Structure formats: structure tokens, C-alpha cells
Structure 1
Amino acid sequence: MKIELPLPVPKASAYQYYAFPLAVNQTMHHSRDWIASNFIQVEFDTRGEHAPVPFSFTMSDYSVNPLLDVMSMSMSWFEDGDIVDSLKRALSDGWYIYTFFDEFYFPSRESYRQWEFVHDALIYGYDKEANAFLIYGYDKDLLLTSVWTHEREIYAAYMSAMQKDLSHSRVVLYRPNPRKEYPINLSLITRTIEEYLSGFNTSEHFAAGYVPRDFVYGVETYEPLKESLAQEFNDGEFLNLRNMQVLWEHKRLMLDRSVRLSESIPAIGELTPEFNHLADFTKSIRNALVQKRFSGSSLNRLELIADVDALKRKEIEALSKFHQLLAKY
């Protein structure tokens, strides 16, 4: 018996905690309307590089999803040693499993047999003949890949993670539900673009269930992003390429959003070339940073900051026109 659930390449993947449920969503074509209605606002943690996630999309909880069946539980529920059998049963019922493992036991990871490192992963397959699970996540080459991993390593990695003080860690099961619907939400898109342009703290909307986060939001995040880039130049190395990856993902998704909305509002199609340019421009900045880090290519700090400033100006212009069009509907 071999189970391998479908798993598309996620449209945003800088961080696994949102890449995994996004990929599961993408197994259903109609999820494009939910994606287009979300992933608009961004936030920058004021602790900067000392924050676990300095820069990311703003959502209340990535495990809450209107198109998926979701079950969430503490890792301790499986501490009696039944994790392997539980994973098999979940997969046979069509569930994708998001949880935490000690990557010391995973041959495909950088920390393998070197140091303990508890990190999240997604399991979406099992091969009975090989006694192996299919795990998805970033490997030692920083590539988002799928690797078959023997169940004894899965067991050891899970039990080792259980021994760490990880009160925040959990097991989340995702399963696509094609019967669920989420029509495109024009009012949400319009409001969130307005909040992005104004720098409004969007987490205030979730105050009934979460303490609002005192972060920087929307276009205001360009300033701490520039400060972070300048600091990394001064330190002589790039410590966090993910910030620019998130920024690029944000522009790509805005491009997708304009394409989707142009199907019902043709005038928005006139803005699509501008969003395409923003996505390409951001990609060029991101790629220059990658080349600087890994090949030592020359990169002028002042020119880099000027490019980020230009990106901000162009985005404000495009999104302001986008918002004006949407406000008519």
C-alpha cells in the first residue's frame, strides 16, 4: 500500500507554517477566490531580526481555514508511542499532518546528526513496503522538497521534539473539503488594501480572540525593511533573505489578485501590467541579495535602498488606483 496525497507548489512559501495549508488549499481550484481575498496585509515585528518571524503576512491563525476540515491538538496526545500508527490512520483518511520534529534525525536536513533542531514539517504520504513517510519542508540546501523518511526516524524525531519545552507546538490535521465554498470577497479586499496603504494595525480586527500585535503594518513596513537591509550590509552578511522572499510573494499574489478580479471587473485588467512590473522588480531585488549572499557578487547598498524606495512609490501608485476601482463596487 502506498499513499501520496496531492500537493501543489504553494504560491507563498517563505515560511512553512503558511506554505503548508496554502498548498493543501491549492488542491482545490475554487480556493483561488479565498487566496485572492487574503494575503494582502503584511506586518513587521518591531523586534526585527530578534523576532522569530520578522516580516510576514497578517492573518489571525493560519490553521483556521474556511475550505479545509481542520483538527488541532497538543503533541502530547501522542506521547504514549502511537504516533506512527496515528499518522498512518490520518493519511488513510485523507488528512495532511502538520507537526514538529527534531531534525537531528532527518537525513535530508542540515542539522542531521549534528545538532538538535525542532522544526515543523508536513507529512502527506506513506509507503507500507518501505516503512517510510513522505515529508515536505526545507532541506539542507534550503529547497522546499519532499523526502521519503523511514518511520523509525519519524518516531525518534517526534519523541525527541516531545522532550523539548515546546508548549506552542501542536499537531494540525488538514483535509480539503470540496463541498465548502468561499466566494471572492470584494469588500474584504477593498478594506484590506486601504489598511495596507494606511498602515493600519489589521490585527485589531481579531481582538476578540487575540491580543492585537504592536507591529508595523502595510506600506509602513518598508522602513524597517530598509533598516534591516542596511544593518545586514554593515554586518557584512545577509542574515535573513526571507524578508525579501515575503515581499516578492506579496507582489506575486497581488498580481494574481488583479488577474482574478479582472475577470469580473475588466477595468482592473489595465492595472495588471503595473502589478506584473512590481512583481518582476521585487524579484530582481531579491535575486540580487541571493547572489550577494551565496556568490559574493557586488551590490551597492545605496542603490539597493533606492530600489526599495522606488518599489514603495510604484506600489502605492498602483494600489491607490486599484483601491479606487474596487471602491466603486
Structure 2
Amino acid sequence: MASRILPVAKPFLRGYVHHAIAFSIIDLSSESDNHWFASNFIQLRCPHDLPSNRHSTLDFYHETFYAAYDDQFTIQTIHKNVIAHYNGGVIRFLIDTLEADGYTELMVNESYIPGTSTYMKDDFTHNIFIYGYDQEASVFYGKFVKDGVFTEAQILFEALQEAYARTNGQAVWVNHSKVYTRLHNPITFDSTRFYGFLSDYVKSRSCYRDNKMYVFGLDIYDKVIEYFGLLQEGRAESDIRVLHSLWEHKQSMRYKIKFLQEAGLLDPGADTVHRLEELEGDAFKLRALHLRSFFSPDQGLYAKIIRRTGELREKEAEVYESMLSRR
């Protein structure tokens, strides 16, 4: 009987499922992939209502939602009605996609998927990742988010078919799944792009799209501080993704600038990587403080997070301003 499992990696970015899926395919093991990563994932943005709206996100920012991945994949967005008319339905569609070396981000109702946080509970339509199948065992190999962790899973054909049929919700994205096909074109570091994003980050602006709905770059710290002020007052819900995203940004910047320095592609300054490691550690400690507050809410913890977040902004600005002055 047929089976196929496409290669996957532990995702470098995993705070949001769209990044976790993409970085399960990109493992940053090649020089080309590192050149690509070094040229992207530098700028941040969030909506003005981040402090009060838990549907708002603090995330990396590029020209469009998937622009950073243009050199890595072809991404096809496929409406549920198209898959419904596919000969053999969603099961055959997924198998044929895998046989063509395609990964699928599939919208399903997770309350019908064993092992998910909402299994046999409330309806919850969300995206899962499919990277393999075994026809004899009638299972797909995939990943889904469970309790904030991108978790490996084996999903029976029958369960997946039911979960796919039971998707619901008014949002347009509920009806769309995506197929990722890996590209293998050589990619070189784009220093103009790197410094452009870094300059925008420091100046809290976007040269690509001036959207008054969003805050960019270092100014996102104001919204993070405002969010924890609301938490301190009991007027907001705890969401670890805010500080997790901030930490992933520091982790990413340390990783790529260290790579660029070691590859001789960038001279950031003698102690810059060390200072970036400190920023990464500071952001990780902030994340840990917030996690602690989940178990023992304490206004003192929130006050400490607010103070240290402001300090992190100041330290980060100094590092990047120094780098830009050396260009």
C-alpha cells in the first residue's frame, strides 16, 4: 500500500501557526535558507487595539502577509468548494498533493480531531498541517496547535474527513486551505533589504505601506506596555503570544546577525552579537514572568514586566542605531 512522508523540521518560528507551518518545511540547514532568513523577519507591527483585542496580533511584517516566503514556496490558496468537487474528495486531494511533493495547510473543525485541545468540545475551526500519509494504516501525518504547542499527530482518514466537512464560521479564511510546494532556487543575502527593514524598525515606520491602523517597529513596545497595564487593572485577558512574539523577534535577530557576521557578510560591531544575546535573554525572561502570572496573578509581576519592557526597548534601540551608524 502507498505511503509518503515529506521532510519536516522543528520550526524556528512557532508563535503563530502560519509561521510554524512554513518553518516546519524550512529548516535553516542550508546556506541559501540562512541568506533568505537574514533578509527577512526584521520588522514588527501590531494594530493599535492590540492591548484590548485578543484577535489582534503582534507579528513580523513584510510587504504582504506571505511576501517573505515568495522565494521559498509556491503557495496555492484553494477554496473548500473546489476540493469538494475533487474526484475522491479531501482524502484523495491530500494524497495526490503529497505525491506531488506538496504540503497542505488544511482548515478543519478540531473538535472532531482526537488529541486536539477542543476534541469533543466546542466547535473550533482552525488550520492544521499535513505532511504525510500511510494508506494501509489510513492515517495522515500532521501537526496542530495543542495548548500553545505545535504538536505531532497521526490523524485517521475518517476523522479528518469528518473534521473537514464540519468546518464552520463566517470568516472568509475558514473556507480556504493552502498547498505549499518547496522551491529550491539559490538565494543570496539582500543587504539593502536588511538595512531597509532595520531602519524602518528603528524609526517605527513602514516604507512599503503607510497604514494608520498599525504601529510599526520600536513603537510596538508602547502597545505591549499598554496591554500589561490593562492586565494589571484586570481589564484584559492573558495571551502569551504577545511576549512570545517579542522573544522570537530577538531570537531571530541574534541568529541572523551572528550568521551574517560569521559568514563575513556583515560587520555589526565587535560586541553586537553579545548584546543581542542579552536582548534575547531579557525577552525570554519577560515571557517567563508572564507565564508565571498565569498561575499566580500578581500586580507586582505586571509592574515588573512593564518596567523591563521599557528597558528592553531602550537597549534594543541603542544596538540597532549603532549598527545603522556603521553602515
1:168 aligns to what SS in structure 2?
helix
Change (3 A) 1:129 1:61: same
Distance 1:215 1:252 in 2: 23
Q: Percent identity?
A: 19
1:135 aligns to what SS in structure 2?
strand
Shift of the alpha carbon at 1:293? Answer: 0.7
Distance 2:28 2:304 in 1: 41
Question: Given the alignment of the two structures, is residue 97 of structure 1 paired with residue 104 of structure 2, yes or no?
Answer: yes
Distance 2:27 2:212 in 1: 29
Q: Is the 8 A contact 2:54 2:237 kept in 1?
A: no
Find the counterpart in structure 2 of residue 155 from structure 1: 161
Change (3 A) 1:115 1:202: farther
| TM-score for the superposition, normalised by structure 2 | 0.90
Query: Given residue 151 of structure 2, which amino acid in structure 1 is its aligned partner?
Result: T
Find the counterpart in structure 2 of residue 209 from structure 1: none
Shift of the alpha carbon at 1:153? Answer: 1.0
Query: Given residue 70 of structure 1, which amino acid in structure 2 is its aligned partner?
Result: I
Q: Is the 8 A contact 2:289 2:301 kept in 1?
A: no
Change (3 A) 1:9 1:268: farther
Q: Which residue, 180, 193, 196 being the options, matches 2:201?
A: 196
Find the counterpart in structure 2 of residue 254 from structure 1: 253
Shift of the alpha carbon at 1:154? Answer: 0.7
Q: Deviations over 1:44-100 (max 9, x none)?
A: 111224252321111212275212233222222112461110000111111110121
Distance 1:213 1:174 in 2: 32
Find the counterpart in structure 1 of residue 71 from structure 2: 66
Q: Is the 8 A contact 1:98 1:120 kept in 2?
A: yes
Change (3 A) 1:18 1:53: farther
Q: Which residue, 42, 45, 64 being the options, matches 1:43?
A: 45
Query: Given residue 302 of structure 2, which amino acid in structure 1 is its aligned partner?
Result: R
Query: Given residue 225 of structure 2, which amino acid in structure 1 is its aligned partner?
Result: K
Change (3 A) 1:18 1:101: same
Give the superposed CA RMSD. Answer: 2.1
Distance 2:225 2:36 in 1: 31
1:286 aligns to what SS in structure 2?
helix
Which piece of structure 1 moves more, 65-74 or 244-253?
Answer: 65-74
Find the counterpart in structure 1 of residue 140 from structure 2: 133
Find the counterpart in structure 1 of residue 233 from structure 2: 234
Shift of the alpha carbon at 1:268? Answer: 4.0
Unaligned runs of 5+ in 1: 206-211
Change (3 A) 1:66 1:232: same
Q: Deviations over 1:195-248 (max 9, x none)?
A: 00111035518xxxxxx4620110001011001011112218752110000000
Change (3 A) 1:203 1:233: farther
Change (3 A) 1:6 1:269: farther
Shift of the alpha carbon at 1:305? Answer: 1.1
Q: Is the 8 A contact 1:103 1:109 kept in 2?
A: yes
Alignment of 1:1-329 (within 5 A): 1-26=2-27, 29=30, 30-48=32-50, 49-50=52-53, 52-59=55-62, 60-62=64-66, 64-80=69-85, 82-139=89-146, 141-161=147-167, 163-169=168-174, 170-178=176-184, 180-204=185-209, 212=211, 214-235=213-234, 238-262=237-261, 263-264=263-264, 265-268=266-269, 270-294=271-295, 299-325=300-326, 327=327
**Runs of 4+ in structure 1 over 6 Å off:** none
Query: Given residue 306 of structure 2, which amino acid in structure 1 is its aligned partner?
Result: I
Unaligned runs of 5+ in 2: none
Shift of the alpha carbon at 1:22? Answer: 2.6
1:18 aligns to what SS in structure 2?
helix
Q: Is the 8 A contact 1:259 1:269 kept in 2?
A: no
Change (3 A) 1:15 1:267: closer
Find the counterpart in structure 2 of residue 208 from structure 1: none
Distance 2:183 2:157 in 1: 28
Q: Is the 8 A contact 2:105 2:129 kept in 1?
A: yes
| TM-score for the superposition, normalised by structure 1 | 0.90
